[in-house]
């Protein structure tokens, strides 16, 4: 074995060991164990995967895990390229995602994680739960460098659950700004990565160069700030970097799983800096948005030569994968490539099998509307008859009924008209307004949001 092959094998072993700690055992065995290192050339590690479906899954579903592993092992500068076994071999190393900005004296060039090439603003599907965050992302790009902007969006703080698109929006902002202003030096930084850099600098008893490195950027994209909770020294250094960038008018974008005021363990002055600009949340996508996300996903190059996915399959996937965009896209990928492997068109039978394979659960039969209404009535201490009264405008009945309509739309394929008909022939516009009202209240009331989602999960 030549030196390059030995280097490649060693690098891959290092990454594999880190990925084994970050992935579940079934995921690691299914997607990572079959991969083999081919060569390391010009800063790129070529990895062979057993099939096209494995390539798509690794590149799209495990992009963040691979990036975390690269940063955690000190291999952040290493590029990754995946090639299919027995497929055509690439002739040269791929470029990094995004075009690096010209390097100025003392200023590091921009660099985005190599597997995040899909994270652009034009690929982000906007729904009711992400409208504010997306509008803010666009505004950051459009208003860059304008001192008379109407609102202060620095820092832009985006929060929400895992897999909902926070990193997608953050990277999309950076790429859009880099396209418009190639001279900008933009940094994407995960808190864990900075922690490891800082630990090395502390051991060398010289942290000042690290601080100056990040203070030299024109824009900082700080991902997963919630992990700072138990990192006292890291919080201090991050604070000084943020303070310097803000004082010099440099744009900052921060992501977290919770809003600033609910980040336990963070120093008050750091929380204050996070709250200085605009805070926007991302909520799980509703049914219509999930369908739109799936259709957008099918526009990817990897799916262009695949058979058409029927509407009933998309509806099945949208109903079964509600937790995050990552879960949604992952289930669709399984359906399409399981059908391809079997040599048959995508169908409900294939989708049910793919769902069982990914979740370990039997695909449930369609949930009856009547069951949704009865569970909702019981949860709100109402009789079923009172909940279904068409004319009642009492708040004690109106709110539960609106919740029932929202759940019916989320958990079934029923149209607005069909839901209205089940409530004594209510007009479809009444149902639409009721559902919009629930979404609005969920967006502004975290406790109500938890109540509705707990009810949703109990019915499934």
Q: What global pTM score does this model have?
A: 0.72
Quick one: 151 and 194 in the same domain? yes
Q: How many CA atoms lie within 13 A of 142 on its CB side?
A: 10
Q: Do 173 and 301 belong to one domain?
A: no
d(CA 40, CA 13): 13
Q: Encoding tokens for residue 264?
A: 């336990």
Is residue 419, in this structure, part of any structural domain at all? yes
CATH number for position 187: 3.40.50.300
Q: Which CATH number does the domain housing residue 79 bear?
A: 3.30.300.180
Q: Out of 259, 282, 305, pick the residue that ends a domain.
A: 282
Domain boundary pick from 359, 386, 408:
359
Question: 48 forms bridges with which residues in the sheet?
Answer: 36, 83
Q: Do both 355 and 376 map to the same domain?
A: no
pLDDT score at 97: 46
Is 354 among the domain residues? Answer: yes
**pLDDT given for residue 108 in this prediction:** 63
CATH number at residue 344: 1.10.8.60
Residues 336 and 205 in one domain: no
Whether residues 132 and 212 fall in one domain:
yes
pLDDT tens string for the chain (460 positions)? 334 345 888 888 888 898 888 888 878 888 888 888 888 888 888 889 887 777 877 887 788 888 888 877 878 778 888 888 765 554 444 444 444 555 555 566 667 877 788 889 999 989 888 889 999 999 999 888 776 655 678 899 999 888 888 999 999 999 999 999 988 899 898 888 888 888 888 888 888 888 888 888 999 999 888 888 878 888 888 898 999 998 888 999 999 988 888 888 888 888 888 888 889 998 888 888 888 999 988 888 777 777 788 888 888 888 878 778 888 888 888 888 888 878 888 888 888 888 876 554 544 556 788 888 888 888 888 888 888 876 656 777 888 888 888 888 877 778 888 888 888 888 888 888 888 888 888 877 877 887 887 787 667 6
pLDDT at position 350 is 84
Residues 353 and 375 in one domain: no
Query: Which residue segment(s) compose the domain that 335 sits in?
Result: 287-359
Tell me the C-alpha distance between 157 and 201, whole Å. Answer: 28
Residue 116 included in any domain: no
Q: How far apart are CA 441 and CA 427, in angstroms?
A: 22
**Residues contacting 348, CB < 8 A, separation 6+:** 312, 313, 316
Give the pLDDT confidence score for residue 385 in this predicted structure. Answer: 84
Do 350 and 420 reside in the same domain of the chain? Answer: no
Q: Are residues 306 and 257 in the same domain?
A: no
Taking the C-alpha atoms of residue 233 and residue 449, their distance in angstroms, rounded to an integer, is 35
Together in a domain, 144 and 267: yes
Asked if residue 114 belongs to a domain, the reply is no
Q: Is residue 106 part of a domain?
A: no
| Same domain flag for 128 and 165 | yes
Answer with the one of 223, 249, 282 that is the final residue of a domain. 282
Asked whether residue 62 is domain-assigned, the answer is yes
**Burial class of residue 353, CB neighbours in 10 A (0-12, 13-18, 19+):** middle
Same domain, residue pair 149 and 271: yes
Tell me the longest C-alpha to C-alpha distance in the chain.
80
In a domain, 276, yes or no: yes
Nearest to 378 by CA among 435, 457, 439, 455: 455
Q: Do residues 183 and 50 both lie within one domain?
A: no
Convert 24-60 to b/e letters by CB count within 10 Å (16 or more is b): eeebbeebbeebebbbbeeebbbbbbebbbbbbbbbb
| CATH number of the domain within which 452 lies | 1.10.1750.10
Q: Give the count of domains, the chain.
A: 4
For residue 107, being part of any structural domain is answered with no
């Amino acid at each position: 074995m030549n030196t390059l092959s030995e280097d490649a094998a060693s690098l891959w072993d290092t990454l594999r060991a880190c990925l084994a700690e970050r992935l579940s055992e079934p995921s690691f065995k299914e997607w990572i164990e079959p991969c083999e290192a081919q060569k390391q050339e010009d800063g790129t590690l070529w990895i062979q995967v057993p099939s096209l479906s494995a390539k798509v899954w690794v590149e799209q579903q495990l992009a963040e895990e691979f990036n975390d592993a690269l940063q955690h092992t000190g291999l952040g500068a290493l590029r990754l390229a995946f090639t299919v076994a027995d497929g055509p071999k690439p002739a040269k190393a791929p470029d990094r995602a995004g075009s690096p900005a010209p390097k100025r004296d003392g200023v590091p060039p921009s660099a985005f994680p190599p597997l995040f090439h899909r994270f652009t603003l034009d690929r982000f599907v906007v729904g009711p739960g992400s409208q504010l965050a997306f509008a803010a992302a666009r505004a950051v790009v459009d208003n860059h460098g304008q001192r008379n902007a109407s609102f202060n969006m620095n820092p832009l703080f985006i929060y929400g659950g895992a897999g909902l698109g926070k990193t997608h929006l953050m990277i999309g902002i950076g790429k859009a700004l880099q396209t418009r202003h190639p001279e900008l030096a933009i940094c994407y930084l995960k808190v864990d990565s900075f922690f490891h850099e800082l630990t090395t600098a502390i051991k060398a008893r010289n942290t000042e160069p690290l601080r100056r490195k990040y203070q030299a950027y024109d824009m900082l994209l700080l991902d997963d700030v919630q992990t700072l909770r138990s990192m006292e020294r890291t919080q201090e250094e991050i604070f000084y970097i943020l303070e310097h960038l803000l004082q010099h008018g440099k744009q900052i974008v921060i992501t977290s799983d919770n809003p600033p005021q609910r980040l336990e363990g963070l120093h008050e002055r750091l929380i204050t800096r996070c709250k200085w600009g605009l805070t926007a949340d991302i909520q799980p996508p509703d049914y219509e948005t999930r369908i739109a996300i799936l259709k957008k996903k099918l526009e990817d190059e990897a799916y262009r030569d695949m058979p058409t996915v029927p509407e009933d399959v998309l509806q099945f996937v949208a109903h079964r994968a509600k937790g995050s965009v990552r879960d949604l896209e992952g289930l669709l990928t399984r359906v399409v490539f399981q059908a391809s492997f079997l040599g048959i068109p995508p169908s409900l039978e294939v989708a049910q099998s793919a769902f069982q394979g990914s979740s370990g659960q039997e695909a449930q039969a369609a949930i009856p509307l009547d069951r949704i209404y009865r569970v909702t009535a019981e949860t709100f201490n109402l009789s079923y008859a009172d909940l279904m009264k068409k004319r009642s405008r009492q708040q004690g009945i109106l709110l539960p009924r609106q919740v029932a309509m929202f759940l019916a739309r989320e958990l079934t394929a029923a149209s607005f008209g069909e839901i209205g008909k089940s409530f004594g022939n209510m007009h479809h516009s009444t149902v639409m307004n009721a559902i919009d009202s629930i979404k609005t209240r969920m967006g502004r009331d975290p406790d109500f949001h938890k109540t509705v989602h707990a009810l949703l999960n109990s019915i499934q």
